[in-house]
Structure 1
Amino acid sequence: MNSELMKPKTDELIKIFEDVRLGYILPRFGLDSTHEWSSVLSLGEQQRLAFARLLLLKPQLALLDESTSALDEPNEVYLYKKIAAAGITYISVGHRSTLSNFHDRILCISTTDSNNEQPNWHIEPTRRESSLKV
């Protein structure tokens, strides 16, 4: 496939940066610079950049591991709404109790005695009243 067909347009990239609340870094770094981003961006900014990649690529399924651990709750809600609106199916792993607000089911895993014949996991529905509204 022609790589030029896959290359996003500048205006699309700018919109996505603004959509994940990173528009302010564009004047500083532009769209074509290369840096050791972990030493330039905060962890929260890196996590928002990862959401920008999701919104750009729009995979059918995304596995999110502690993807909002460095974000405040309003940004977490905002970004989960964005990926839901983009039609991206996602599975999240994390410690924050707020994650249950963005899912229909929770897989709870706990440590149990290996001699215990009971399973150490279960799936339960979330207690939210309705699907995530965008």
Structure 2
Amino acid sequence: MVLGTLRQQLLYPAWNATVEEEATPGGSKIDGSTPLLIRDDGNEKCNKPTTDDLMRTLEKVCLGHIADRFGGLDSIHEWSSVLSLGEQQRLAFARLLLAQPKLALLDESTSALDEANEALLYQQIQSADITYISIGHRRTLTKFHNKILRISTADPKSKERNWQIEDADAKDSLYGPLSQ
């Protein structure tokens, strides 16, 4: 969680929310131009999400109540202290949905969530057509992946590889522990 407003939590790291942008309706700059994010390739421009976009995205990750609970999108709190770990993880998924990256690396991203919320969040990023790689220990993660990479401790005396790739729908994958 970054220091700042709830709006800044949602826009981080893809967009920079300034006080001037937050103070105007729809997230427009004072001069009337729309704030833009120029992606790494330098060619693609994306409009900064509006307040309505932020609120819709909070609803998608089951955090629609959070803005009211903390006094709006522009309220400032110590977010890592006032939000549960599960709420922080859902907020991170909201960031992901707003930023729309081509690839996301998810490390224990649903470890504090129940299976229903985990399924909802993975369905949201699948619907958003975001390619993702997950690192985790939960067996339930296999439902959301095509392949599993299992890594074991390497034996320095052996020439055998210490990893294998399996189909996620294989019966063995559903019952064996996931490795990092």
Q: Report the TM-score when normalising by structure 1.
A: 0.88
Which of 110, 134, 143 aligns to 1:101? It is 143
Amino acid at match of 2:120: Y
- 1:50 corresponds in structure 2 to 92
Mapped partners of 1:60, 1:112: distance in 2: 32
After superposition, the C-alpha distances for 1:48-83 in whole angstroms (9 at most, x for unaligned) are 000000111111110100000000001000100000
RMSD between aligned residues: 1.4
Which has the greater radius of gyration?
2
Higher helix share: 1
Unmatched 5+ residue regions in structure 1? Answer: 129-134
Mapped partners of 1:3, 1:12: distance in 2: 14
Unmatched 5+ residue regions in structure 2? Answer: 1-32, 37-46, 171-180
Identity %, equivalent residues: 64
- 2:155 corresponds in structure 1 to 113
- 1:4 corresponds in structure 2 to 35
Q: Which consecutive segments of 4 or more residues in structure 1 shift more than 6 A?
A: none
- 1:32 corresponds in structure 2 to 74
After superposition, the C-alpha distances for 1:81-116 in whole angstroms (9 at most, x for unaligned) are 000000100000011111111111110001143212
- 1:73 corresponds in structure 2 to 115
Which of 120, 125, 140 aligns to 1:83? It is 125
Mapped partners of 1:122, 1:27: distance in 2: 47
Q: Secondary structure at the match of 1:123?
A: strand
Give the number of aligned pairs. Answer: 127
Cα offset, 1:3, TM superposition: 5.9
